[in-house]
Amino acid sequence: MKYLLMIYGNKEKWASLPEEQWPEVIAEQEAFNARYRATGELLGAYGLADAEEAKLVRRVDGAAVVTDGPYLETKEYMASFYLLDVADEARAREIAADMPIAGTDPVELWPVPHESA
């Protein structure tokens, strides 16, 4: 069964982290990624650009209309997502709880019941 893990970012929180602490934070996350890639349970880990770089795309009268930024006005935004392929929800919960950021921030866990061929 596939599951999506989502981490939300907050620009103020990231900015408050001392610069010298970033290598440790990144190393912890990379170790997590390597551990679950090695088991075959982590299919992909993706960090997203800052919310200020996001675009909204709509089709109006057959043409693309592009506007800046996420639609919702919020401090938090999706910062990263991870795709798992695990035996069951219990295992997905274990992996989500093992994510380094789970000690301070929630990690959303979503079942992915459908996959396009």
Q: What is the pLDDT of residue 71?
A: 58
Q: Could you tell me the CATH number of the domain that includes residue 20?
A: 3.30.70.1060
pLDDT digits (tens, 9 = 90+) for 16-34: 889 999 999 999 999 999 9
**In this structure, is residue 24 part of a structural domain?**
yes
**In this structure, is residue 117 part of a structural domain?**
no
Under DSSP, the state recorded for 90 is H
**In this structure, is residue 88 part of a structural domain?**
yes
Q: Which amino acid is at 87?
A: A
Number of domains in the chain: 1
**In this structure, is residue 55 part of a structural domain?**
yes
Instruction: Give the per-residue SS3 of 15-73.
Output: HHCCHHHHHHHHHHHHHHHHHHHHCCCEEEEEECCCHHHCEEEEEECCEEEEEECCCCC
What stretches in the chain show pLDDT beneath 70?
70-75
Q: What is the pLDDT of residue 70?
A: 63
The domain of 21 spans 2-112
**In this structure, is residue 108 part of a structural domain?**
yes
Q: What is the pTM of this model?
A: 0.83
